[in-house]
Structure 1
Amino acid sequence: MNGNTIKASAPGNLFFFGEHAAVYGRPAICAAVDRRTYVELAERNDSKILVYSDSFGSGSAQISETGLSNKSFKAPELSTTFDFIDMLAAKFKMARGFELKIRSEVPVNSGMSSSTALLSAIFKAVSGFEGQNIPAEKYFDYLYPIQVKVHGGHASGSEIISSALGGFNKVHKIEAESKTNLKFKHLGVHKFSIIVGNTKVSSPTSLTVGYHIPSLIARNKTFVFSVFDKIAAISEKAEALLTKNDEAKLGKLINKNQELLSSLGLSHPKLDDCIDEARKAGALGAKLSGSGWGGIMFALTKREDAEKVLRAIQTTGADAFKTEVGGSGVL
């Protein structure tokens, strides 16, 4: 190795409103969180790629003319990392190898967009390593194809905006002539009191986004899309309330969004347990975030009730923590 080292990080994400509906062209509102994924890239003096993950061990590959060859890793979770580097190696015509160290604060398979945080951080480091000055607004074009693969053939791409740009954003996927674009609108800075509960029930997004919802649509498209339209209406109402920082009414919309997601079979007994306890402890609103079927939920609280809500969620056996929302994107 030589002295060329690049560090990058990107945040996880919360869906305040609109997950799942966003995959099918409805608007969503999401926000970056203060839990991040960190990568450190160090140049090698050969064409090998070595990856070291705090969570999933190590792996290696060799740069070839068409991308990567001789991929080797034990943990299946590293496949996304190597697939993405493979794509970038071909796109950037990479020749120099590197070592990549990964450390993440974002719970995996939780609905907190851990894979998108990782992809954003890797892209920042690798594109910088290759001398590509790509603005965060363009990350969607590079990350969306691999996100579709990770999510089982379907994705909204909404989380990419949170991880790349940070802040609160309204996002809307547009399909046009076989090309997918994402419209987004920054919704300002909001200092909400948010408690996240991690059920510790692993919930890969591919199970709900790639399997469950498509199967529901195949059998009852009219019902599913009517629910998505109701969720879209909630997202539109929430945008107006965000400009007023009307937490009480936002909480009611959060609860309504959860009710609609539950009607699609996306909740889980442990999610319901955490949500019920949070509400009983005074949360203004509580819902799942992301894929559902486990993973995380969050509660919007008054600041004076935050500790009480946190402890209530912990009584279920879930992990609970405070998070700041709407912070920095990729760095």
Structure 2
Amino acid sequence: MVINENMLSAKAPGKLILSGEHSVVYGAPAIAVAVNHYVTATFSPSDTDTLIITSSVLGQSRRTLVQLEHLVAHLDQRFERFLLGELAVQDVLQTPHDLLYYTALQSDSLPSGTVTIHSDIPTGAGMGSSAAVIAALLQLFQSSSCAQQRDDKKPEFFQKVKYCERLQHGRGSAIDAAAVTYGGVLKVQADKVTPLPLELGDGWYHFHTGTPCCSTGETVAAVRAKFSHRTDLWQQFAKITQAFEANIKQPSRLGSAMRANHQLLQEIGVVPAPVSALIAQIESMGGAAKICGAGAHQGETAGQVLVYFPEQNSETLSAQLGVCLTPLQQQLNGAHRG
């Protein structure tokens, strides 16, 4: 195998929302944790006039630099049409690879060569796969050669991730961009990101209920249409997130906060019935669980479910529930080179 000495690589973690999904869009705080599931991107430069992007999820696409010259302006215009109500959020991007090219084109010069993207983050699962892809690509093409991003550069990088991600999720929150940038546990409110010096410890699991039939952007839009005026509802979410942060080391109170969070998520209609039944089973056994992403306003699956069940064996729980529980493992550093 011939190794290309000019090849670059970067990776970015996925995330799980511990508290505050949906309400974070309306200014309430949310808490998330970066997890050890990754998007890895490599780039081999060439002297051709073509940028090739190969994704383990989307397949391969190639476009000449001439074809890419006006892509950023074109997609910015389509996003403005979304803001004006002329386009649905799912119609802003015209091909699945558009977001990848758009992100690559945020570099100072048009890159030519081959980008290869591999992901072990399930798509549409509430784990921030889009933000992780964006962050890995931005790391590839940023001017700094440092493997680990400096803390003072992270706010600027966070804004870049958020800016690109808007094409996918519309008026979504900043929480995915924050988690993949900073790593660890963090609180997000509006655009303010506060890293929390916490280690969650044992008893945390997650499992995949299946990819929802509707995108994050669609579900966020559906909730907005029905509940954007319900300030009382978002205030209740905010109180639960505050309780979650205050009781992170107190299992009984933490479980109560998660169960209350689940009830509010059911109220806004983003927990499909089969997922709700599984969570009810976990609660009947003494644990707590909730969706930890946008969920879904249609269909029977809702991406990832977060489970808190301290002092229990994951294999025993998995057998009893009929699902595969994965122990939650924190990732501390966020997106980085290498």
Common topology (TM > 0.5): yes
Distance in 1 (alpha carbons) for counterparts of 2:310 and 2:145: 46
* 1:297 match: 305
Query: How many residues in Structure 1 have an aligned counterpart in Structure 2?
Result: 304
Matched, 1:327 2:332: yes
Distance in 2 (alpha carbons) for counterparts of 1:263 and 1:185: 29
Q: Secondary structure at the match of 1:77?
A: coil
Give the TM-score taking structure 2 as reference length: 0.82
Decide which moves more: 126-135 or 98-107.
Answer: 126-135
Distance in 1 (alpha carbons) for counterparts of 2:143 and 2:319: 43
Distance in 2 (alpha carbons) for counterparts of 1:122 and 1:136: 15
Once the two structures are superposed, the pairs formed by residues 163-174 of structure 1 within 5 Å of their partners are 163-173=180-190
Aligned residues of 2:172 and 2:217 also touching (Cα < 8 A): no
Shift of 1:326: 4.8
Shift of 1:266: 1.2
In structure 2, the CA distance between the partners of 1:129 and 1:102, relative to structure 1 (3 Å rule), is farther
Spell out, residue by residue over 1:185-233, the C-alpha distance to the aligned partner (whole angstroms, 9 max, x if none): 3242222332212111424101111x21121146xx1xx3211110101
Distance in 1 (alpha carbons) for counterparts of 2:279 and 2:314: 14
In structure 2, the CA distance between the partners of 1:207 and 1:68, relative to structure 1 (3 Å rule), is closer
* 1:178 match: none
Distance in 2 (alpha carbons) for counterparts of 1:189 and 1:319: 23
Distance in 1 (alpha carbons) for counterparts of 2:179 and 2:22: 16
Aligned residues of 2:178 and 2:193 also touching (Cα < 8 A): no
Q: Secondary structure at the match of 1:292?
A: coil
Once the two structures are superposed, the pairs formed by residues 115-264 of structure 1 within 5 Å of their partners are 115-128=130-143, 135-151=153-169, 153-173=170-190, 181-202=191-212, 203-209=214-220, 211-217=221-227, 221=229, 224-242=230-248, 245-264=249-268
In structure 2, the CA distance between the partners of 1:80 and 1:103, relative to structure 1 (3 Å rule), is same
Distance in 1 (alpha carbons) for counterparts of 2:156 and 2:316: 41
Give the TM-score taking structure 1 as reference length: 0.83
Shift of 1:2: 5.9
* 2:100 match: 81
Shift of 1:163: 0.9
Once the two structures are superposed, the pairs formed by residues 45-56 of structure 1 within 5 Å of their partners are 45-56=47-58
In structure 2, the CA distance between the partners of 1:187 and 1:52, relative to structure 1 (3 Å rule), is same
* 2:88 match: none
Q: Secondary structure at the match of 1:163?
A: helix
Distance in 2 (alpha carbons) for counterparts of 1:213 and 1:183: 24
Distance in 2 (alpha carbons) for counterparts of 1:292 and 1:301: 21
In structure 2, the CA distance between the partners of 1:248 and 1:233, relative to structure 1 (3 Å rule), is same
Shift of 1:68: 5.0
Distance in 1 (alpha carbons) for counterparts of 2:157 and 2:111: 22
Shift of 1:112: 1.1
In structure 2, the CA distance between the partners of 1:225 and 1:143, relative to structure 1 (3 Å rule), is same
Shift of 1:57: 0.6
Aligned residues of 2:318 and 2:324 also touching (Cα < 8 A): no
Once the two structures are superposed, the pairs formed by residues 5-24 of structure 1 within 5 Å of their partners are 5-24=7-26
Aligned residues of 2:183 and 2:332 also touching (Cα < 8 A): yes
Decide which moves more: 121-130 or 155-164.
Answer: 121-130
Matched, 1:275 2:294: no
Structure 2 gaps of 5+ residues are 75-93, 297-301
What is the alpha-carbon root mean square deviation over aligned residues? 2.6
Distance in 2 (alpha carbons) for counterparts of 1:41 and 1:6: 5
Shift of 1:7: 1.0
Aligned residues of 1:9 and 1:39 also touching (Cα < 8 A): yes
Q: Secondary structure at the match of 1:229?
A: helix
In structure 2, the CA distance between the partners of 1:270 and 1:79, relative to structure 1 (3 Å rule), is farther
Distance in 1 (alpha carbons) for counterparts of 2:195 and 2:328: 22
* 1:176 match: none
* 2:290 match: 287
Distance in 2 (alpha carbons) for counterparts of 1:312 and 1:131: 47
